Amino acid sequence: MKVIRNEEFGGERPLYREHDLRLENVTIHLGESSIKETHDIEAEQCRFEGKYVFWECRGFRVTDCFFAESARSSLWYSRDGQLTNCRVEAPKMFRRMSGIRLKDCVFTNALETLWDCDQVHIEDCRIEQADYLFMHTNNVYIDRYHQEGNYSFQYSKNVEIHNALLNTKDAFWESENVTIYDSEINGEYMGWYSKNLRLVRCRITGEQPLCYCENLIMEDCTMGEDANLAFEYSTIQATINGPVHSIKNPTSGHIVVRGKVGEIIIDPNQKAPANCKIEVL
């Protein structure tokens, strides 16, 4: 494997179509497409400042590296890439990619990141300013994770999340086959129009959560005081530990609340079959 150490590059395509290459303490200055159409690339303790760095790459490992804000859109149309212990200050990373692994990374401006991706594995990461994260992204596994940013996981399928703190309104809209364990999700209008959303030992806060859901499952969950008007027009099987502010017009299923329910609202707008059983224990 060819090794480049302590070098600086700039301009357009300085390492275009390289392969079997290791970069150590290399700086990529402003420019475009510095490592485009490459394969089998390793980068360690490098700094990336230019745009479109890893485009159409096959097999890359990036460790202890920094992506400046100017390095926006640096990872697109590639596959089998791994970032470990990296700091990413650039938005719009990861588009139309497959085989992504992120570990011990911090993203400080993850606007419109991880769109149209497949096979994503994330551990021990923090992602901030993450509006519209995970749009149309499928087959995702996440563990030990902190997210700040709204409208996440829209239209995503086959997602499994463990031990997460998600501060995100309008999350999981029209998602499908999502399971979340031992996590806290804070934000308005969570999970609307989702299919097969399963929440296990989770805490839910925010107004009007989990409405218009198809086959919603909640196991030993809790809900915040602001989680009002929940479950409207949803088909649901739920066990909730503790109080619920209000429940409105669930369509069918069975809800068990081990605590107080402030209000149960059933009005003429309830959708058929309108036979959801609600038990307050």
| Predicted local distance difference test score (pLDDT) of residue 270 | 82
Q: Which of 77, 107, 137 is the last residue of a domain?
A: 107
73 and 155 both lie in a single domain: no
Q: Are 203 and 226 in contact (CB under 8 A)?
A: no
88 and 167 both lie in a single domain: no
93 and 178 both lie in a single domain: no
CA distance 174 to 192: 7
Residue with tokens 């809900």: 223
Would residue 101 count as lying in a domain? yes
Would residue 142 count as lying in a domain? no
**92-109, pLDDT tens digit by residue?**
999 999 999 999 999 999
Would residue 246 count as lying in a domain? yes
- Could you give the 3-state DSSP secondary structure of residue 69? helix
Would residue 117 count as lying in a domain? no
Please give the C-alpha separations between residue 262 and each of 179, 228, 243, in angstroms, as whole numbers.
Answer: 28, 9, 8
CA distance 20 to 216: 47
Domain range for 32 is 1-107
Q: Can you say how many angstroms the Cα of residue 79 is from the centroid of all Cα atoms in its chain?
A: 18
Would residue 143 count as lying in a domain? no
Would residue 252 count as lying in a domain? yes
DSSP for residue 49: -
Fill in the amino acid letter for 47: R
Q: Are 140 and 160 in contact (CB under 8 A)?
A: yes
For residue 45, the domain's CATH number is 2.160.20.80
Buried/exposed 53-91: b ≥16 CB within 10 Å, e otherwise: bbbbbebbbbbebbbbeebbbbbbebbbbbbbebebbbb
174 and 261 both lie in a single domain: yes
155 and 103 both lie in a single domain: no
Q: Which of 53, 85, 107 is the last residue of a domain?
A: 107
- Does residue 148 carry a pLDDT above 90? yes
Buried/exposed 150-163: b ≥16 CB within 10 Å, e otherwise: bbbbbbbbbbebbb
Q: Are 208 and 231 in contact (CB under 8 A)?
A: no
- Could you give the 3-state DSSP secondary structure of residue 246? strand
CA distance 94 to 129: 15
- Does residue 141 carry a pLDDT above 90? yes
Q: How many domains does the chain have?
A: 2
**1-40, pLDDT tens digit by residue?**
899 999 999 999 999 999 999 999 999 999 999 999 999 9
Q: Is the peptide bond before 273 cis (omega within 30 degrees of 0)?
A: yes
257 and 168 both lie in a single domain: yes
158 and 261 both lie in a single domain: yes
246 and 165 both lie in a single domain: yes
78 and 154 both lie in a single domain: no
168 and 87 both lie in a single domain: no
| Predicted local distance difference test score (pLDDT) of residue 70 | 97
Would residue 45 count as lying in a domain? yes
161 and 279 both lie in a single domain: yes
- Does residue 268 carry a pLDDT above 90? no
**202-239, pLDDT tens digit by residue?**
999 999 999 999 999 999 999 999 999 999 999 999 99
Q: Taking phi first (over 0 means left), then psi (-120 to 50 degrees means alpha), and beta for anything else, what does residue 193 get? A: left
| Predicted local distance difference test score (pLDDT) of residue 271 | 84
Mean pLDDT to the nearest integer, 110-125? 98
Q: Which residues pair with 58 in a beta bridge?
A: 39, 79
CA distance 122 to 166: 14
Would residue 54 count as lying in a domain? yes
